[in-house]
Amino acid sequence: MGKRDRHNLALGLAFLGPNILGFLCFTILPLVFSLVLAFSNWDLQLHNMFKDEQIKCVGFAHFTRLLLQERDFLRFFGNTLFFMMSIPFAIAGSLGAALLLSRDLGGGTKRVYGWLIAGAVMVASSVMLVVAGAGGTAMTILLCGLACGMLVAGSLGGSTVYRTLFYVPHFTSGVAVYILWKKLYNPHTGPVNTVLDPVLTRVSGAVNGIPPGSMHAVAWLFAGGAAVFAAFGVRNLVRMWRSGDLGWAAAVLPAAILSFPVVMAQRWAPTRAAGTMILILVAATATYELVQAGRDTERFPATFGKGLGNALMLSLALMVGAFIALGLAIVIYQLPTWATDGLEPPPWLASYHWAKPAIMVMGLWGAIGSNNMLLYLAGISNVPQELYEAADIDGASRFQRFWHVTWPQLAPVTFFIIVMSVIHGLQGGFEMARTMTKGGPAGSTTTLSYFIYNEGFETGRLGYASAVAWALFIMVFSVTVFNWKFGSRYVND
Partner 1 sequence: MKYLFLACLGILIAASLFTHSINPETQSELPVLYWVTDPNPARVLQVSTFQEWLRQNGYPEFELRVDTANSDASKMLIQGVSGVGSDVIGHCGGQRMRYFQKVGLLTDVTAWAKELNFGPEHTFPAMEPELTVNGRQYAFPCNVYAHMLWVNKGTFHQNGVPLPPKRWTFEEFERQGKQFVEAANRGKARQTAFFVNGPNSTIWRRSLGMDIYNETMTRCILDDPRNVELLKRIHRWTYDDHIIPSAADREAFATESGYGGSSFQLFNSGNYAMVWCGRYALIQFREFGTLDLAVAEPPHGGFPVTSTGTRAAAVYIGGKHRDLAKYFLSYLASEAYNMNIVRDADALPPNPKYTKTEAYRRPLPLLPDLTTFFPYPDSELDAVAAFEKTFYAVTDTIDRENPIDPQDLPIPPKPSAMPAEAYQKALAAFHTLYREHMATCRREWGCHEAFSEAAETIAIPVSSSPFILESVATRLIGQLEEGFMADRETAEETARLMGETVNQEIQRALNENPKLRPQFDELSKRQEEIDQRRSAGRPVPRDWITNPFYRRYYVAQGWTE
Q: Which of 145, 154, 247, 347 binds partner 1 (CB under 8 A)?
A: 347
Q: Which of 7, 21, 36, 51 binds partner 1 (CB under 8 A)?
A: 51
Q: Which of 1, 68, 269, 442 binds partner 1 (CB under 8 A)?
A: 442
Q: CA 371 from chain center: how many Å?
A: 15
The smaller minimum CB distance to partner 1, of residues 166 and 348, is found at: 348
Is residue 300 a contact residue for partner 1 (CB under 8 A)?
Answer: no
- Pick the piece of the chain touching partner 1 (CB under 8 A) from 37-45, 268-276, 387-395, 396-404: 37-45
Site string for partner 1, 177-206 (x = CB under 8 A): ------x-xxxxx-----------------
Q: Which of 352, 403, 477, 484 binds partner 1 (CB under 8 A)?
A: 352
The smaller minimum CB distance to partner 1, of residues 50 and 399, is found at: 50
Name the H helices within 24-71: 29-37, 61-68
Q: CA 91 from chain center: how many Å?
A: 8
Nearest approach, Cβ of residue 439 and partner 1 (Å): 8
Q: Which of 216, 423, 441, 473 binds partner 1 (CB under 8 A)?
A: 441
CA atoms within 13 Å, Cβ hemisphere of 189: 2
Measured distance CA(260)–CA(365) in Å, rounded = 29
Nearest approach, Cβ of residue 82 and partner 1 (Å): 16
- Pick the piece of the chain touching partner 1 (CB under 8 A) from 22-30, 219-227, 390-398, 435-443: 435-443
The answer to whether 484 and 418 have CB atoms below 8 angstroms apart is no
Q: Which of 5, 458, 492, 493 binds partner 1 (CB under 8 A)?
A: 458
| CB-neighbour burial class of residue 38 (10 A; exposed 0-12, middle 13-18, buried 19+) | buried
The DSSP string of 88-107 is: HHHHHHHHHHHHHHTS---S
Measured distance CA(251)–CA(286) in Å, rounded = 13
The smaller minimum CB distance to partner 1, of residues 23 and 352, is found at: 352
Q: Which of 7, 353, 485, 489 binds partner 1 (CB under 8 A)?
A: 353
Measured distance CA(227)–CA(280) in Å, rounded = 9
Backbone angles phi, psi at 159, to 5 degrees: -70, -20
Is residue 137 a contact residue for partner 1 (CB under 8 A)?
Answer: no
> Which residues share a beta bridge with 57?
40
The smaller minimum CB distance to partner 1, of residues 11 and 31, is found at: 11
Measured distance CA(158)–CA(69) in Å, rounded = 57
Is 460 in a helix, a strand, or coil? coil
Taking CA atoms, 293 is separated from 13, 237, 279, 301, in Å, by: 66, 12, 21, 12
Is residue 327 a contact residue for partner 1 (CB under 8 A)?
Answer: no
Could you list the residues that contact partner 1 (CB under 8 A)? 11, 15, 41, 43-46, 48-51, 71, 183, 185-189, 347-353, 440-443, 454, 457-461
